Structure 1
Amino acid sequence: MSRVKVVDSGELSLGQKDQELWLQVDIAGMEEEERALFLKRKEAIDLYVANEKSHEEIHSLIGINRREINRLYTRCISFDPNGIPWGYRGLIPNKKIKKYELNPLSKKINDSRKTGEFSLLLEKYPKIRDEIENLFLGRKKLSEPVMRPKYIHKKFVEMCKEVGISRSEYPFNTNHLGYRALCRFLTQLRNKHFGTASRRYGRDAEQKAKNAGIGKQNYPSTLTPYQDVEFDGHRIDGIFVITVKTLEGDDAVLTLDRLWFLSFIDRATHSVIGRPHICLNKEYNASDVMIAAKKAVMPVKKMNLTIPGLTYQPPGGYPSERFPEIEWAVWDVVYFDNAQAHLADLVRERFRNLIGCTTCLGAVGKPMRRPHIERFHQTLTSSSVQRMPNTTGSHPNDPRRENPEEMAIQYRITYEHLEEILDVAVSNYNGTPHGAIFYNSPLEILEQRINKGMIPRLLNESKRSEFLFTQIEKNRTIRGSHQSGKRPYIEYMGVEYRNDLLAQSAHLINTKVTIHINVDDLRTIRVFLPDGSEFGEVVATGKWSLTPHNLQMRKAINLLKNKKLIHFTQWEDPIFVYHEYLLSQKKKKKATANQIAKVQKVLRKRDEEINKNVALAKAHEDINALEQARERQEKTQSTSKTPTVNRRFKTITL
């Protein structure tokens, strides 16, 4: 007897033909009769596909005829709604694999039942279907943003009347005018358009539905430290103050506008990379992003804490502090959102050319694609700032929010205190066990990965300069004139830059050069000639070269000067003049307080540099004094060693 031949005209895919790829069925939950029938069908299909027995032999062995075998095999190779062959699932007894469609021409139609009438109506009138979908999914801008099913049903009945459906036809010949069928259709819409339908339950639900649970994020495969990192800024939930000396010599306490907290976190180990940056601006900018990146890459040392009782936990710390072998470690991919500061040319250029990483931009207001940094910010604020009396809470009605400005002034909770508290909190966070990493701490996971040889990429030694992180490039022309007697100079942001070499290089007048500017410190700029050779550093003229100041501060001072609100000569320090102007403002606004805090930070940096230079000068003096004393001692010993011995013996004999 001839064997069965499974006919394949070349239209079947590999998933349809190969039984090994068919989805299996768990028969443990079936009733005994259903299980027996399923196993009979499966055995018959296996013999049929194997081409080992004829239809008659299969029928005699199992009891399933040719027609039934062909029907079952057709069910197995047909596709489900997801485009996957039904496989053995098509053999489950009483399983519907095809959607019911009403055939109005069939003689078997039952006039008392209305099954399929609703679907047939929507097929006949696609305008009604589109209107229902638009109303339910919120595709039309209506006065009612989320329309309930009973109001959609009212619109459905009105449209049925508009298209001319008679009173004797569906849905008017039913008790509820097709309401139940409409609700079932809306449920199908909700399941089919999960992300869009979630909008009916709020913006948060829509964001999670559209951006979580799908894609690469569900299959975490990052194991190597610093391979992928996330960055974001968080508005600190607290009010802080600064103490200033007024022009009259009195102490004044000013409240600051809410500050920003910028940080990087490693996806593989959940460790916070480097000391985070606290931004005093109303909105953080590209310079703040690069300062945060600089702090994340440069080695970290513990701060000198001034708050009594505040200490670092021994298990905590920062990666570069605990593991010297990964000092100056950099990352391969950084995940941003589309905030304006992240799209700046400075950020993209520095990350690409200096750090050598790829930037992956996500959408604003969709934190699901950066879960680690968002979760870290929640943990940090809930364990530190939100526990303080000056907290603003997580929302306006938070019971923890109780006159935060008054509390900040009363307890003198300053910006310097915030720096110390957050530094300790982040350090301790890195040493705290996390449930997401099986109750290991981020530093413990990092140590294990390092011991396995997963050493992150280190920044090239030629690029290990603070200047390079906040550097931008501009084209300028060297100016000067023999007629007016003005020596060569370079102008940038309203300030002239010179050095002795440039002053003696009159041949470079009108030469176009490239200047490298550190936007975090504009006291000096570096000049490169048209052929690419470095000319050297030029210094801002006058008092602009004394106090460190950034690009934003320079712009603010120039704006006030242009408006005739402040005035200073070449021999006055513009930063001090700016500081006095801010103090003289009668209306102590928060924005003014933030500007004062930034100027005070700059002045502290200047004092630190002066103290450092004094200490270095004293150290050089001590070293020179020791070297001179050593030289005198060696000279004395070399010239008087032998005569001293003879004189001693002569004295003894006499």
Structure 2
Amino acid sequence: MSRTRIIENPHLLPEQTNPDLWAIVDELLLSKEERDIYIMRKNAVVLYFKGNALKNIQAQTGVHPKNLRRLVQRCISISDDGLVWGFRALIPQKKVKSYQLSLTSKKKNPSRKTGEFKLLLETFPTLQELIKDLFLGNHRRTLEPAMKPHHIHKKFIDECRSLGIPLNQYPFNTDHLGFKALQRYLSKLSCLYFGKGKSRYGKDAITKAKHTGEGEQNHPSTLHPYQKVQFDAHRIDGFFIIEVMTPEGDLVPVVLERFWILTLIDVATRAVLGYAISLNKEYSAIDVMHCFRNAVIPHEKVTIAIDGLKYNETGGFPSEVYPSSTAWAVWDVICFDNAKSHLANLVQDRLKHLIGCDINLGPVALPMRRGIIERFFKILEETGFHRLPNTTGSNPHDPRRTDPEEKALKYKMTFDHLKQLIDILISDYNGKPHGGIYHQTPLELLGKRLNAGLLPRQLEEELRKEVLFMQVTKSATIRGSLKSGKKPYIQYQGVEYRSDKLSQSAHLLNTELIIHMNVDDLRTIRTFLPDGSEFDYLTAVGKWSITPHSLQTRKAINSLVRRRLIYLTTWDDPIFIYTEYLRTNATNGKRGAANKFTQVKESAQKRKTVNEPEGQTDALEKAEERNAALAKAREHTQKEQATKEYAEYKDLMKLYKTKL
């Protein structure tokens, strides 16, 4: 070895020649003998890098120059993790490089096979590729989902034979044909390719490995209320019933399928801002917007009809407890996954143009990224639904699951009971101590932050209309004909929309209007001219303007009409016909009919809308008057027809001299 100082090598990295940048060693974990040796070596190396003479270093520490050069070389070598070994290389008996078998070495023991497996893979790279492909489930080699080690070993031996390896060489000259070495190598592969063996570890494990352990959890804590919120949905673990009236007038209990609860929670305070219940098999974009709407609009308590059930005095929703600061409050960032309902145009448009927040889309099927809301769902289940006799439990083998459908029927646990229970459970959750916020209640912490001046952003006064949360913008062409005398109208989803103003605007025929529609109530639409000026509110013709109905209900009715499963006349209320159709299917036990029946019933029982536009109210009132007048005219016509038929009947009887 050259006597030139090792640190004078120009090819060394700065972190290799600067002991201040090296990883340190906890000396207290070493035994007394090991500690003495380590400290002696460390002092010698430090003096070497300070430029002391080798003889002086030997005199002070007792480390021979030849041994010192070896220690320095160990310290500046690079470890498998890409870092300089540093002081870690000075620990007694520390291995800084893997074993390399030397066939020409005189020290080689023929009876030992240490290093033979590694040498075999280096000599035949195709063997290494084969083992990796089989272990990680590469379909180029095998279709077996997760090949076991002894099956991989059989393929390994077959490949060794095909490569022409003699029987007196490794692995054929061992008792187990290299199986133990292969097992150790597979164990290393599982760590080296962590999260890549989809077939071996499953999709869930792969997803977690790719997306957890880094990123969001290392960001600073969120302190400002409503700065960041998390949204997700959860299947309710329980069955509930509704009572459906048969054509004979009897009430029959029907079990609802399991449904969803959608929730929005504040990250800073853990307070639940709002929720919604979805009766759909898979919740939709409309259900998502229902949750957002309920979180922004001031919350109203549900009327409790269950004996002994009441709200906790310490609980409530933020908009109830702190109305001046959190009523109509909106958030800055929302976190949810890439589910289709979250990516819908309605959701994306309303979050951007109404709420004005940024969207943080996390990976699907990875609840760890939204751990706060997932923990809330677990608390909601364990303190609520899993304690009910109608619970389905957390899995099919849960001992708490004992005939949940029969229990729901036996105790008459209705959908109305569910709505009351959910509102109380969430209200009480906001008023109970939470371990994630140092055992403060979410409402208590929210109050502290608000008093400290951390006030959330509130929706502008002109935007505080409930209808805006469900609004979708489309374009439609004004139809009509001067030749046939058909007055101007707009058609949307198989229904014509008209107004007095539109009927008198024949000059706008074939003009494309911009329409704003509430997908939660399609009885009216608001129209604008191409230059952006408002035109008028249009109302659905006929009985479509009587009962509130959603876009989903309209599409379902149109589908049934096309398939000739239901029939509509001019005088029929389509929602009533559709409800009767669902009622019949529900009483006959058709799957999903009870949920749809309840959903349409809930939508038809339209509550008072917050800040409903006057133009919409006027349009609906005019439509109601027009329908009432048409119904009266029809009744009058039917009476006249009946009177005329009776008179003709009397004349006929007189003709044949029959006594009435």
Report the counterpart of residue 321 of structure 2 in structure 1.
322
CA 1:608/1:356 → structure 2, altered by over 3 Å: closer, same or farther?
closer
Is residue 2:407 matched to residue 1:418? Answer: no
Is residue 2:38 matched to residue 1:31? Answer: no
In 2, distance between residues paired with 1:552 and 1:525? 16
CA 1:22/1:509 → structure 2, altered by over 3 Å: closer, same or farther?
same
Q: Is the 8 A contact 1:351 1:357 kept in 2?
A: yes
Report the counterpart of residue 397 of structure 2 in structure 1.
397
CA 1:560/1:201 → structure 2, altered by over 3 Å: closer, same or farther?
closer
Superposition map of 1:373-384 within 5 A? 373-384=373-384
CA 1:312/1:403 → structure 2, altered by over 3 Å: closer, same or farther?
same
In 2, distance between residues paired with 1:142 and 1:383? 48
Q: Is the 8 A contact 1:226 1:266 kept in 2?
A: yes
Q: Is the 8 A contact 2:137 2:144 kept in 1?
A: no
In 2, distance between residues paired with 1:450 and 1:55? 67
Q: What secondary structure, in the 3-state scheme, does the structure 1 residue paired with 2:265 have?
A: strand
Aligned-pair CA distance for 1:150 = 2.8
Q: Is the 8 A contact 1:393 1:401 kept in 2?
A: yes
In 2, distance between residues paired with 1:139 and 1:331? 45
In 2, distance between residues paired with 1:11 and 1:490? 78
**Aligned residues with identical type, % of pairs:** 51
CA 1:281/1:314 → structure 2, altered by over 3 Å: closer, same or farther?
same
Q: Which moved more, 1:134-143 or 1:428-437?
A: 134-143
Report the counterpart of residue 249 of structure 1 in structure 2.
249
Report the counterpart of residue 473 of structure 1 in structure 2.
473
CA 1:581/1:201 → structure 2, altered by over 3 Å: closer, same or farther?
closer
Q: What is the aligned length?
A: 608
Is residue 2:297 matched to residue 1:298? Answer: yes
Q: Is the 8 A contact 1:45 1:72 kept in 2?
A: yes
Report the counterpart of residue 430 of structure 1 in structure 2.
430
In 1, distance between residues paired with 2:460 and 2:75? 60
Superposition map of 1:9-48 within 5 A? 11-48=11-48
Q: Is the 8 A contact 1:59 1:65 kept in 2?
A: yes
Aligned-pair CA distance for 1:531 = 0.9
In 2, distance between residues paired with 1:16 and 1:448? 51
Q: Which moved more, 1:179-188 or 1:244-253?
A: 244-253
Q: What secondary structure, in the 3-state scheme, does the structure 2 residue paired with 1:226 have?
A: coil
Aligned-pair CA distance for 1:532 = 1.3
CA 1:457/1:71 → structure 2, altered by over 3 Å: closer, same or farther?
farther
Give CA-to-partner distance per residue, 1:18-69, whole Å, 9 cap, x none: 3332111111121222211211221122222223x22232222223344333
In 2, distance between residues paired with 1:14 and 1:532? 65
In 1, distance between residues paired with 2:197 and 2:482? 74
Q: Is the 8 A contact 1:254 1:590 kept in 2?
A: no
Superposition map of 1:177-188 within 5 A? 177-188=177-188
Report the counterpart of residue 189 of structure 1 in structure 2.
189
Q: Which moved more, 1:545-554 or 1:361-370?
A: 361-370
One-letter amino acid of the counterpart of residue 128, structure 2: R
Q: Is the 8 A contact 1:4 1:48 kept in 2?
A: no
State the TM-score, normalizing by the size of structure 1: 0.87
Report the counterpart of residue 637 of structure 2 in structure 1.
none
Report the counterpart of residue 530 of structure 2 in structure 1.
530
Gapped regions of structure 2 (runs ≥ 5):
618-660
CA 1:547/1:606 → structure 2, altered by over 3 Å: closer, same or farther?
farther
Report the counterpart of residue 339 of structure 1 in structure 2.
339
Q: Is the 8 A contact 1:44 1:62 kept in 2?
A: yes
Q: Is the 8 A contact 2:216 2:369 kept in 1?
A: no
Q: Is the 8 A contact 1:547 1:606 kept in 2?
A: no
Is residue 2:621 matched to residue 1:588? Answer: no
Q: Which moved more, 1:198-207 or 1:235-244?
A: 198-207
One-letter amino acid of the counterpart of residue 529, structure 1: L
Q: Which moved more, 1:115-124 or 1:327-336?
A: 327-336
Superposition map of 1:494-505 within 5 A? 494-505=494-505
Q: Is the 8 A contact 1:313 1:428 kept in 2?
A: yes
Report the counterpart of residue 70 of structure 1 in structure 2.
69
CA 1:419/1:10 → structure 2, altered by over 3 Å: closer, same or farther?
farther
In 2, distance between residues paired with 1:8 and 1:574? 90
Q: Is the 8 A contact 2:145 2:199 kept in 1?
A: no
Report the counterpart of residue 639 of structure 1 in structure 2.
none
Gapped regions of structure 1 (runs ≥ 5):
617-654
Report the counterpart of residue 353 of structure 1 in structure 2.
353
Report the counterpart of residue 637 of structure 1 in structure 2.
none
Superposition map of 1:198-277 within 5 A? 200=200, 204-218=204-218, 221-274=221-274, 276-277=275-276
Give CA-to-partner distance per residue, 1:396-443, whole Å, 9 cap, x none: 222222222222222221111111101111111112222232222222
Q: Is the 8 A contact 2:433 2:441 kept in 1?
A: yes
In 2, distance between residues paired with 1:355 and 1:10? 59
In 1, distance between residues paired with 2:84 and 2:452? 44
In 1, distance between residues paired with 2:471 and 2:127? 60
Q: What secondary structure, in the 3-state scheme, does the structure 1 residue paired with 2:501 have?
A: helix
Q: What secondary structure, in the 3-state scheme, does the structure 1 residue paired with 2:152 have?
A: helix
Give CA-to-partner distance per residue, 1:77-102, whole Å, 9 cap, x none: 22221111122112212211111111
In 2, distance between residues paired with 1:11 and 1:267? 50
One-letter amino acid of the counterpart of residue 387, structure 2: R
Report the counterpart of residue 576 of structure 2 in structure 1.
576
Aligned-pair CA distance for 1:74 = 2.6
Report the counterpart of residue 287 of structure 1 in structure 2.
286
Give CA-to-partner distance per residue, 1:449-484, whole Å, 9 cap, x none: 323333233223332221221111111111222222
Q: Is the 8 A contact 2:7 2:49 kept in 1?
A: no
Q: Which moved more, 1:479-488 or 1:309-318?
A: 479-488
Report the counterpart of residue 369 of structure 2 in structure 1.
369
Report the counterpart of residue 603 of structure 2 in structure 1.
602
Q: What secondary structure, in the 3-state scheme, does the structure 2 residue paired with 1:426 have?
A: helix
One-letter amino acid of the counterpart of residue 307, structure 1: I
Is residue 2:116 matched to residue 1:125? Answer: no
In 2, distance between residues paired with 1:568 and 1:198? 53
Q: Is the 8 A contact 1:334 1:360 kept in 2?
A: yes
Q: What secondary structure, in the 3-state scheme, does the structure 1 residue paired with 2:522 have?
A: coil
CA 1:478/1:153 → structure 2, altered by over 3 Å: closer, same or farther?
same
In 2, distance between residues paired with 1:226 and 1:313? 24
CA 1:13/1:524 → structure 2, altered by over 3 Å: closer, same or farther?
farther
CA 1:180/1:581 → structure 2, altered by over 3 Å: closer, same or farther?
closer
In 2, distance between residues paired with 1:284 and 1:71? 67
Aligned-pair CA distance for 1:248 = 2.6
Report the counterpart of residue 145 of structure 1 in structure 2.
145
Q: Which moved more, 1:185-194 or 1:289-298?
A: 185-194
Give CA-to-partner distance per residue, 1:569-600, whole Å, 9 cap, x none: 33432211222222344633241111211222
Q: What is the RMSD of the two structures over their aligned residues, measured on CA atoms?
A: 2.6
Report the counterpart of residue 483 of structure 1 in structure 2.
483
